[in-house]
C-alpha cells in the first residue's frame, strides 16, 4: 500500500477540475493570494526588527522577498489557476527565496519565522503534488533547518534583545529544538496528511466489490493514461457481460457478485500490466491501455478470458467493443473530449457485438464481424426459463451455492 502511494503520480489537472466542479477553486486562489500578502508583511516586519544590523545585504534580500510575495499575490488573484509545471516553478522559487532569507538574516527569531513559511508551502505541495515532490520539499526544509541551527550555534544569528555573547549552549538548544519541531511537523505530519488524503481519494475512486477503478476513478486517470502511451496507439475497450440479469435472477446476487469478482481478476490477468481497468456499471467494465498489438487481438484475449473462466457451474460470456486512438492522430490526447469520444465509440462497438449474439468482439470503424466470432449464443450456456431453471448438473437453481 505504501509503495502504491509513493508511486502515485497524482493527476494534478484532475484535482484542479474536481475543486473547480465544486466551486472551491476561486476561494483557494483567494487564500493563496492572501498568503502572499502575509509573506509581504513578514518581509517588512523582519526588515524593521533587524534595523541596521542586516546591512545592505539584508535590504536587498528584504526587497527580493517583498517582490516575490507581491508577484505571488497578483498571480493568484488575477490569473487562472497555474498548470502543473508553473506550479512546480513557483514552489522551487518560493523554497529558494525563503531559505536565502532565513540564512541571510541576522536575527534568529526572523530566521525561525522563515522556516515556518516553508511549512506553509509544504501544505500546498501535500494537496496538489506527488509524494516524491513532497519528499523533495521536506528534504529541503529539513536541510534549511539544520543549517539555521548551525548558524545559531556559531552565534551568527543573534537575539536583538540580548547583549554580548556566551550563549552558545542556549543557541544550540534552540537550534536543535527548531530542527526537531520541523522534523515532526514537516517530516512526519505532512506525509501523514498526504497519505490519508491519497487513501481517501483512492477509496472514493475504486469499486468496493472488485477493487477496480469506478467510473469516477476512470475519468480521473483516463486522459493522463492515454498521454502515457506516447507514440503507441491507445485503446479503450468496453466489456459487458451477456445476459447477466438472468444469471442474477436465477442464481442470486451473491453468486452474481462472485462472478463479477472473478471477472475482475480475469481481466487483470488478460490485460497488460500498465492498463487501467474499471467497473463502470453493474456488469460493464472498461479497459484502457497502450496498443502493442492489433486491436482485434486485444479484444479477443479479453473475450476469451471471460468465456474460459473456470470453477463456475455455467459458461459466462461477454461482448467487447474497442476504439483506438492512433499515435499519429491529430486529436489532442490531453483534451477531455478526445477520451470521451473514445468511450462513446467503444460503447457503441460493444452494442454492435451484442447484436451479433454476444460473446463477440467489435472494433469501432469496422462494420464486418471479426472472423471466427460466433453470432449465436455459444453452447454451454443453459437456457434460463423464468419459472423453472436448473443448473448444468441438473440441480434446482435454489440449491446452487456460489462457488468458494
Please tell me the distance from the alpha carbon of residue 361 to that of residue 298, in angstroms, as a whole number. 10
Which among 347, 269, 345, 270 has a CA at the least distance from the CA of 302?
Answer: 270
- Which of the four pLDDT bands, split at 50, 70 and 90, describes residue 346? very high
Mean pLDDT of the chain: 80
User: Residue 92: is its pLDDT beyond 60?
Assistant: yes
Q: Which of 131-135, 188-192, 400-404 has the lowest mean pLDDT?
A: 400-404
Pairing status of strand 318-325 against strand 276-279: unpaired
Residues 227-275: pLDDT tens digits?
Answer: 677 667 889 999 999 989 888 888 898 999 999 999 999 999 999 888 9
Q: Give the residue from 195, 239, 236 showing the smallest Cα distance to 218.
A: 236
The domains of the chain are located at 2-204, 215-399
Which residue spans within 326-401 are E strands per DSSP? 361-363
**CATH superfamily, domain at 215-399:** Reverse transcriptase/Diguanylate cyclase domain (3.30.70.270)
Picking from 100, 81, 103, 101, the residue whose alpha carbon sits closest to that of residue 90 is 81
Whether the CB-CB separation of 49 and 107 falls below 8 Å is answered with: yes
- Strands (DSSP E) contained in 16-143 are none
Mean pLDDT of 396-404: 36
Distance CA 376, CA 397 (A): 24
Kindly report which listed range (107-121, 129-143, 373-387) carries the lowest average pLDDT score.
373-387
Of 198-207, 210-219, 266-275, 394-403, the range with the lowest mean pLDDT is: 394-403
pLDDT of residue 262: 94
- Among 134-148, 158-172, 292-306, 384-398, name the one with the lowest average pLDDT: 384-398
User: Could you tell me which of 55, 46, 182 has the C-alpha nearest to residue 107?
Assistant: 46
Asked whether the beta carbons of 197 and 126 are under 8 A apart, the reply is yes
- Cβ burial, residue 382 (10 Å; 0-12/13-18/19+): middle
Confidence of residue 394 (pLDDT cuts 50, 70, 90): very low
pLDDT classification of 291: cutoffs 50, 70, 90: confident
What is the pLDDT, as a whole number, of residue 336?
64
Amino acid at each position: 500500500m505504501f509503495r502504491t502511494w509513493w508511486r502515485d503520480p497524482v493527476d494534478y489537472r484532475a484535482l484542479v477540475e474536481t475543486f473547480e466542479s465544486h466551486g472551491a477553486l476561486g476561494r483557494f486562489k483567494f487564500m493563496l493570494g492572501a498568503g502572499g500578502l502575509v509573506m509581504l508583511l513578514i518581509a517588512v516586519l523582519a526588515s524593521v526588527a533587524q534595523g541596521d544590523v542586516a546591512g545592505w545585504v539584508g535590504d536587498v534580500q528584504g526587497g527580493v522577498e517583498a517582490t516575490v510575495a507581491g508577484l505571488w499575490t497578483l498571480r493568484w488573484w488575477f490569473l487562472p489557476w497555474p498548470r502543473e509545471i508553473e506550479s512546480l516553478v513557483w514552489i522551487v522559487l518560493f523554497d529558494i527565496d525563503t531559505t536565502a532569507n532565513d540564512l541571510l538574516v541576522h536575527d534568529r527569531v526572523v530566521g525561525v519565522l522563515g522556516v515556518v513559511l516553508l511549512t506553509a508551502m509544504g501544505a500546498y505541495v501535500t494537496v496538489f503534488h506527488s509524494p516524491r515532490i513532497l519528499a523533495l520539499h521536506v528534504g529541503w526544509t529539513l536541510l534549511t533547518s539544520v543549517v539555521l541551527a548551525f548558524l545559531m550555534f556559531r552565534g551568527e544569528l543573534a537575539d536583538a534583545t540580548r547583549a554580548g555573547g556566551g550563549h552558545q549552549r542556549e543557541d544550540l538548544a534552540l537550534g536543535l529544538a527548531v530542527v526537531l519541531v520541523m522534523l515532526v511537523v514537516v517530516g512526519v505530519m505532512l506525509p501523514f496528511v498526504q497519505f490519508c488524503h491519497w487513501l481517501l481519494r483512492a477509496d472514493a475512486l475504486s469499486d468496493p466489490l472488485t477493487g477496480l477503478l469506478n467510473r469516477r476513478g476512470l475519468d480521473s486517470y483516463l486522459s493522463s493514461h492515454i498521454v502515457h502511451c506516447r507514440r503507441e496507439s491507445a485503446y479503450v475497450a468496453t466489456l459487458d457481460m451477456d445476459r447477466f440479469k438472468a444469471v442474477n435472477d436465477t442464481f442470486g446476487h451473491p453468486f452474481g457478485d462472485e462472478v463479477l469478482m472473478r471477472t475482475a481478476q480475469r481481466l487483470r490477468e488478460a490485460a497488460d500490466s500498465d492498463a487501467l481497468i474499471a467497473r463502470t456499471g453493474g456488469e460493464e467494465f472498461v479497459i484502457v491501455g497502450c496498443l502493442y498489438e492489433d486491436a482485434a487481438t486485444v479484444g479477443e484475449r479479453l473475450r476469451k478470458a471471460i468465456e474460459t473462466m473456470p470453477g463456475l457451474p455455467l459458461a459466462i460470456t461477454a461482448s467487447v467493443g474497442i476504439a483506438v486512438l492512433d499515435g499519429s492522430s491529430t486529436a489532442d490526447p490531453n483534451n477531455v473530449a478526445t477520451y470521451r469520444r473514445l468511450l462513446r465509440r467503444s460503447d457503441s462497438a460493444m452494442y454492435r457485438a451484442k447484436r451479433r449474439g454476444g460473446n463477440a468482439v467489435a472494433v469501432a470503424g469496422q462494420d464486418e464481424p471479426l472472423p471466427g466470432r460466433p453470432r449465436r449464443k455459444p453452447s454451454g450456456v443453459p437456457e434460463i426459463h423464468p419459472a423453472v431453471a436448473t443448473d448444468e448438473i441438473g440441480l434446482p437453481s435454489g440449491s446452487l451455492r456460489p462457488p468458494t
